[in-house]
Chains A and B, each alone.
Chain A
């Protein structure tokens, strides 16, 4: 049914807002409902996508997902790697015509870290000197080392050298805030009609669980290069429903579809299909504080029993990249030194026997995973592989919140986990440091690994830093605190008439680079 073809609404249905369809409107199935459009309160990837069309941080992604200059036209770093100085663009304007200044950034960074904002991702900017103390409420806001040198120069001092800081500023947590609007309207500033933004688009309408509609921002610094008049994000939580709507012509882009369709799509709609490995790592984590998972032999045996290629090739079938490394294979600059360990069921059985498990007294364990069709398949397959070496696996699935609550409290034996986001090996390897706290779900602690990681974090020279990280990874994985499995594949369908769509490992597709070809 063409959504342009509308008949008169029923009297009751008329209570519901209707969507006018525009010719240059891009309709995106976004996979779920944004829980907020306040860049400081966001938590979800799908929110990040909408926010990245509304705002522009100091740095930004280009169409290929590379880090490029955003609201800052250039920046420099001091020799010790601690002081970053950003030169802002003088022609940058908010969508109400006001200039974007360094003061807007200072205001935003302070608001993000102010305890009252209760930003759950405030720690993204903990690299800034003073950030942690400000966020904990033990230091005043002006202790934060972010300073407006003049209207168009921003200076940020870090607590430790952090060569990946330019990438860290891409997230909504680093976006500027229109101080003049937020101070006047308070929490209501994100409502349609109130929100003022500095990105390529502005917020035109938002019907929760219905759609979020963005309209082109005429004040955007490169407005003349933006082809789309409007972008509408639909909260398509059910990928099957999203797929049906795509096939019916109701959506132009969807970020996932039922995996069983892939064969048919490859044959019939190859020009719609985009498969791109995401910068991510899915893995199993062992709780090394509870027996028998404190026994390295048991962990090694369970790792040896798995066949990653079977999981990616037969079960998932969308070109997921198997990974023996805990750092996603497409992280730039990083080549893991971990040697892959192919499936070896005999060795696994032997190790289990050594640890005291055999056919008469088999190892019994509970494997926890996050509810969802793909997760279910993968973990059913893993249980089957463990069954083949005599391990009895009980499966337990729960929603994301409950799952990670249990993990963070250490209430599990073996569990699914995943980490994604940055083009920075530390982002992943940090999870294996004892100082990391409860997001090191398995409570793995190794003095050598900690020492290597800490040395890396204090090293400003990139190559030297990467070498230390590589050594830390090898030392950690030799003890099997986790079993890296694969990098997720993003399965998108994009109508061929959409221009400018470039597959990339960040799965970022800013709408300012997209267009619709006339048919």
Chain B
């Protein structure tokens, strides 16, 4: 187990290094630098700026300087948000992104597991059909459609929730729903399939034949193994949530990592882009590892693989 963990961590570090290098090269290869604006920069001023941020050094030197800083967990100064380091920005943006993304993932899991199990138990009945049509419908409404619609209905027209900001728990209700909906649908479909499969297994069928109450069968015999595909899917979903969370942060004016990333990319803020990409990649890698560990706990065969 320890060896397995170590190997995974080593792999994650290599993956992170690859992501850092690719991003580093990409942002610097692009046209337009962080200090291009509509107003003129006299050569003296530009030279001063470049040297203040070490951009006048050779690229290889900059690269190793950056790796050296990363090794000390320093993401560097932001080129555009001049009064903050990237560490400070991440420290402020991350809790917001984690709140929205984490709650959305939890909501999607809760809805998906519940509805999927329910549908499988009522398989091919009208309730199952209704749920599956709803799930397929929900899949067809990505956050770019749902988020503005929720704002229009529940913030603008009804005034039940705020349209943007992050001052209180209420501010998080609409973004979390908008983000969670399609993944709740995906989990529902997945869960229905795997619960149905488990229900058909001999030991579950015999338990049912013996008249064991459904609730106990589900909790004790069905869920542990039926959850496995859901757990292994949760890793990729965490990565997929990223894209959606950027849209949601945009629509609801949430100052999360996604906005820093998009703004940083558009403004050529080299360190901010690279920094947010690293944090995102680390999060996704960590979450995948966590999902795999859960999987191993659920399935003893994997534990020593």
Pair A123/B255 contact, Cβ less than 8 Å: no
**A439 interface neighbour in B31, B39, B80, B256, Cβ under 8 Å:** B39
State which of A117, A208, A400 has its C-beta within 8 Å of the C-beta of B89: A208
Report whether A16 and B169 are in contact in the complex, using a CB–CB cutoff of 8 Å: no
Min Cβ gap A333→B in Å is: 24
Smallest beta-carbon distance A80→chain B, Å: 26
Query: Is the C-beta of B102 less than 8 angstroms from some C-beta in chain A?
Result: yes
**Contact at A116–B84, with CB atoms within 8 Å?**
no
In the complex, what residues of B have CB within 8 A of residue A19's CB? Answer: 167
User: A12-B103, A37-B83 in contact; A244/B45 too (CB < 8 A)?
Assistant: no
B165 touching A418 by the CB < 8 A rule? Answer: no
Residues of chain B lying within 8 A (CB to CB) of residue A8: 169
| Chain B residues within 8 Å of A437, by CB | 40
Query: Considering the complex, which residues of chain A in the window 376-421 have a beta carbon less than 8 Å from any beta carbon of chain B?
Result: 398-402, 404-406, 408, 417-419
Chain B positions 220-254 with a Cβ under 8 Å from a chain A Cβ:
250-253
Given contact pairs A208-B93, A404-B38, a sample of 8 additional A-B residue pairs in the complex whose CB atoms are under 8 Å apart: A16-B166, A135-B42, A209-B260, A235-B253, A399-B32, A401-B266, A402-B30, A439-B40
Q: Take A36-B81, A120-B41 as given contacts and tell me if A250 and B165 are in contact as well, using a CB distance cutoff of 8 Å.
A: yes
Q: Return chain A residues, CB-CB under 8 Å to B39.
A: 43, 120-121, 439
Chain A window 1-15, contacts with chain B (Cβ cutoff 8 Å), 1 for yes, 0 for no:
101001111101101
Which chain B residue has the least Cβ–Cβ distance from A134? Answer: B44
In the bound assembly, the distance between CA atoms of A126 and B42 in angstroms comes to 10
User: Are A236 and B253 in contact, with the CB atoms below 8 A?
Assistant: yes
**Complex Cα–Cα for A123 and B164 (A):** 39
Answer whether residue A458 sits at the interface, using C-beta atoms and an 8 A cutoff: no
Q: How far is the CB of A190 from chain B (nearest CB, A)?
A: 5
Q: A35 in the interface, Cβ–Cβ < 8 Å?
A: yes
Given A122-B45, A209-B255, A402-B31, decide whether A417 and B38 contact each other with a Cβ distance below 8 A: yes
Surface stretch bound by A, among B65-73, B124-132, B154-162: B154-162
**13 A-B pairs in the complex with CB atoms less than 8 angstroms apart:** A3-B167, A3-B168, A7-B169, A9-B169, A10-B99, A33-B81, A136-B43, A209-B93, A235-B255, A245-B253, A248-B163, A400-B38, A402-B31
Specify which chain A residues have a CB less than 8 angstroms from the CB of B167 in the assembled complex. Answer: 3, 6, 18-19
**A123 in contact with B42 (CB, 8 Å):** yes
Give Cα A406 to B260, complex, Å: 24
From B45, B168, B256, B268, give the contact of A13 (CB < 8 A): B168
User: Is the CB–CB distance between A399 and B267 below 8 Å?
Assistant: yes
Report B205-217 CB contacts with A as 1/0, cut-off 8 Å. 0000000000000
* B32/A209 in contact, CB under 8 A: no
B165→A3 contact, CB < 8 A: yes
Q: Is A223's CB within 8 Å of the partner chain B?
A: no
| Distance in angstroms between the alpha carbons of A191 and B92 in the assembled complex | 14
A132 to B42, CA, bound (A): 9
**B172 at interface (Cβ–Cβ under 8 A)?**
yes
Tell me whether A65 is interfacial, beta carbon within 8 Å: no
In whole angstroms, what is the CA distance A208 to B256 when docked?
A: 10
Query: Beta-carbon contacts of B131-152 to A below 8 Å, as 1s and 0s?
Result: 0000000000000000000010
Chain B interface residues toward A at CB < 8 A: 30-45, 47-49, 51-52, 80-84, 88-89, 92-93, 95-96, 98-99, 102-103, 151, 155-156, 159-172, 250-253, 255-256, 259-260, 263, 266-268
Q: Does A118 interact with chain B (Cβ within 8 Å)? A: yes
Q: Name the distance in Å between A285's Cβ and chain B's nearest Cβ.
A: 12
- Is A38's beta carbon under 8 Å from chain B? yes
**CB of A114, distance to nearest CB on chain B (Å):** 9
Contact A244 B163 (CB under 8 A): yes
A1 pairs with B170, CB closer than 8 A: yes
Residues in A with CB closer than 8 Å to B164 are 236, 241-242, 244-245, 250
Min CB gap B146→A, angstroms:
16
Known contacts A3-B162, A16-B166, A439-B40; A120 and B92 CB within 8 A of each other: no
Which of A12, A191, A209 lies at the interface centre, i.e. has the most chain B CB atoms within 10 A of its CB? A209
Instruction: Name the CB-closest residue of B to A440.
Output: B40
Most buried by A among B39, B43, B161, B167: B167
Chain B nearest CB, measured from A291 CB (Å): 23
A203-240 interface bits toward B, Cβ cutoff 8 Å, 1 = contact, 0 = none: 00001111000000000000000000000001111100
With A7-B169, A118-B48 as known contacts, state yes or no: A401 contacts B99, CB within 8 Å: no
Instruction: List B contacts of A235 (CB < 8 A).
Output: 253, 255
* Docked complex Cα distance between A306 and B51 (Å): 45
Q: Tell me whether A402 and B32 are in contact (CB under 8 A).
A: yes
Residues from chain A with a CB closer than 8 A to the CB of B45 are 118-120, 122-123, 135
A419 to B39, CA, bound (A): 8
- What B residues does A121 contact at CB under 8 A? 39
Within 8 A of B (CB), among A9-59: 9-10, 12-13, 15-16, 18-19, 33, 35-38, 41, 43
Asked if A247 CB lies within 8 Å of chain B CBs, one says: yes
What are the residues of chain A within 8 A of B93 when measuring CB–CB?
208-209
Q: Quick check: B44 and A115 within 8 Å, CB to CB?
A: yes
Residues of A within 8 A of B251 (CB): 238, 241
A209 touches B259 (CB 8 A): yes
A438 contacts B by Cβ under 8 Å? yes
Checking B98, B168, B250, B255 against A238 with a beta-carbon cut-off of 8 angstroms, the contacting residue is B250
Are B99 and A137 neighbours in the complex by a CB distance under 8 Å?
A: no
Which listed residue (B44, B250, B268) contacts A401, Cβ 8 A? B268
Q: In the complex, what residues of A have CB within 8 A of residue B81's CB? A: 33, 35-36, 208
B255–A118 touching, CB < 8 Å: no
Bound Cα distance from A177 to B269, whole angstroms: 27
With A248-B163, A408-B36 in contact, is A190–B95 under 8 Å at CB? no
A399 to B84, CA, bound (A): 23
A141–chain B nearest beta-carbon distance, Å: 14
Shortest 3 CB-CB distances between A and B: which pairs?
Answer: A209-B255, A136-B44, A244-B163
With the chains together, A463 CA to B268 CA distance in Å? 44
Q: Which residue of B lies closest to A438 (CB)?
A: B40
Which residues of chain A from 233 to 271 have any CB-CB distance to chain B below 8 Å in the complex?
234-238, 241-242, 244-245, 247-248, 250
Residues of A within 8 A of B165 (CB): 3, 234, 245, 250
Distance between B176 CB and nearest chain A CB, rounded to angstroms: 10
In whole angstroms, what is the CA distance A234 to B267 when docked?
Answer: 20
The residues of A that contact B99 with a CB separation of less than 8 Å are 10, 12-13, 15-16
Q: Which residues of A contact B268 (CB under 8 A)?
A: 401-402
Provide the bound-state CA to CA distance between A437 and B43, in Å: 10
A404 and B37 form a contact (CB under 8 A): yes
Contacts of B49 in A (CB 8 A): 118, 120
A116 to B99, CA, bound (A): 40
Q: Which chain B residues lie closer than 8 Å to A399 at the CB level?
A: 32, 266-267
Do B80 and A35 have beta carbons less than 8 Å apart? Answer: yes
Q: CA of A250 to CA of B103 in the docked complex: distance in angstroms?
A: 24
Q: How far is the CB of A455 from chain B (nearest CB, A)?
A: 22
CB distance from A268 to the nearest CB of B (A): 14
Q: How far is the CB of A228 from chain B (nearest CB, A)?
A: 20
Are A209's CB and B92's CB within 8 A?
Answer: yes
Q: Which of B83, B98, B166 contacts A38 (CB 8 A)?
A: B83
